[in-house]
Amino acid sequence: MSVQTMKWGILGPGWISSKFVKDLAFAEGAELVAVGGRNLEKAERFAKEYNIPRAYGSIEELTQDSEIDIVYVGTLHPIHKENVLALLRAGKAVICEKPFTMNAAEAREIITLAREKRVFLMEAMWTRFLPPILKVMEWIADGKIGEVRMLKADFGFDIGWAPESRLLDPALGGGALLDAGIYPVSFASLIFGGAPSKILSSARLGETGVDEQFSLLFEYEGGRTASLNGAVQLEMVNDAYIYGTKGHIHVPNFLFGKSAYLHPKQGAAESIEDDREAEGYSFEAEEAMNALREGRLESSIIPLDETLAIMETLDTIRKQWGLRYPTDE
């Protein structure tokens, strides 16, 4: 039996949207019908490259397209809030790229409107939906490594010295925490089921004023801890290790979730290898479409309250560093 087709719009014809669009072809029941952005010429080029029927030069035109069921927002961090609010007001379901917003106040405003309008909204934290990550959570739920006591997760890459880059521009939400750090911070929330009770952190603030690297230590109830590191000017290994009282789990290059390895103290080791052809953005698209078909207003895999709690955690960390963005005013 074929599933109900869901018609997609794309807001922001850039690099991350191109990755999402390529993977959308692997999502059952997805039909891409429109792309919009602030530059019509760029939107038209994107539409031509990915065989999208309609291109718009403004968000207003995209919101007025009555055929669109759901919109993927892949714009720059500082305009996520205004983009998502406009789409929600038009009754469009939304999945918004990480980081969800620049700060918790923006996230709270968006979530409040979505709930008032009763419109589906989800953070596009694609790692959560990957088969190896789902298997990791299954192993933990089944007690394969006992009580989880410790997590170590890193994500860092080296862009070199590029002060003109979005990643080093405070006006655009630059820095390691929002771009790289969101992955280990969100992963810690997934593993421990909530926000930390205590946060210790350290960061190197560079010449442009943003964090070029950071280290975080989260403490949870019962002395459980997460050690998280990230960078935009350091090449890192990017693995995750989850340690429990009866064994541990290793997730190589965890945010891309291609494999995971279970190492119990007793019993046979297990592993999962994902040979998917797509990168993996199709899984979050399928979750969003299934939610719409079932009448759900949010995802149980990344609920809106958890997205808000994660943004509050990021705010707390930045406050410790004295790092503020123009949108914090």
Residue 295 zone, left/alpha/beta (φ > 0; ψ -120 to 50; rest): left
Interval 142-172: pLDDT, tens: 999 999 999 999 999 999 999 999 999 999 9
pLDDT digits (tens, 9 = 90+) for 202-255: 999 999 999 999 999 999 999 999 999 999 999 999 999 999 999 999 999 999
Global confidence as pTM: 0.97
pLDDT, tens digit, 9 for 90 and up, residues 71-104: 999 999 999 999 999 999 999 999 999 999 999 9
Local confidence band at 1 (pLDDT 50, 70, 90 cut-offs):
low
pLDDT at 173: 95
Q: Is residue 117 part of a domain?
A: yes
Residues 263, 114: one domain? no
Provide the residue range defining the domain that includes 75.
Answer: 6-125+281-298
Residues 180 and 314 placed together within one structural domain of the fold = yes
- Tens-digit pLDDT profile for residues 32-66: 999 999 999 999 999 999 999 999 999 999 999 99
Per-residue pLDDT tens digits for 253-293: 999 999 999 999 999 999 999 999 999 999 999 999 999 99
Whole-number average pLDDT of the chain? 97
> What is the C-alpha separation between 139 and 133, in angstroms, rounded?
10
Active site residue 319: no
- Say what the pLDDT of residue 196 is: 98
Pairing state between β 224-231 and 240-244:
unpaired
Shared domain for 24 and 60, answered yes or no, is: yes
Strand partners of residue 226? 151, 218
Same domain, residue pair 47 and 103: yes
Give me the catalytic one of 42, 81, 92, 98: 98
Mean pLDDT of 311-316: 98
Q: Is residue 304 part of a domain?
A: no
Instruction: Give the C-alpha distances (Å, rounded to integers) separating 175 from 105, 159, 168, 316, 325.
Output: 19, 11, 6, 15, 11
Q: Judge if 62 and 138 occupy the same domain.
A: no
Question: What mean pLDDT comes out for the span 114-123?
Answer: 98
- Among 199, 204, 211, 224, smallest CA distance to 317 is for 199
Q: What is the CATH number of the domain that holds 318?
A: 3.30.360.10
Residue 66 falls inside a structural domain: yes
Output the pLDDT for position 2.
77
* Statement to judge: residues 161 and 178 lie in one domain: yes
Give domain status of residue 303, yes or no.
no
305 domain-assigned: no
Backbone angles phi, psi at 257, to 5 degrees: 45, 55
Domain count, the chain: 2
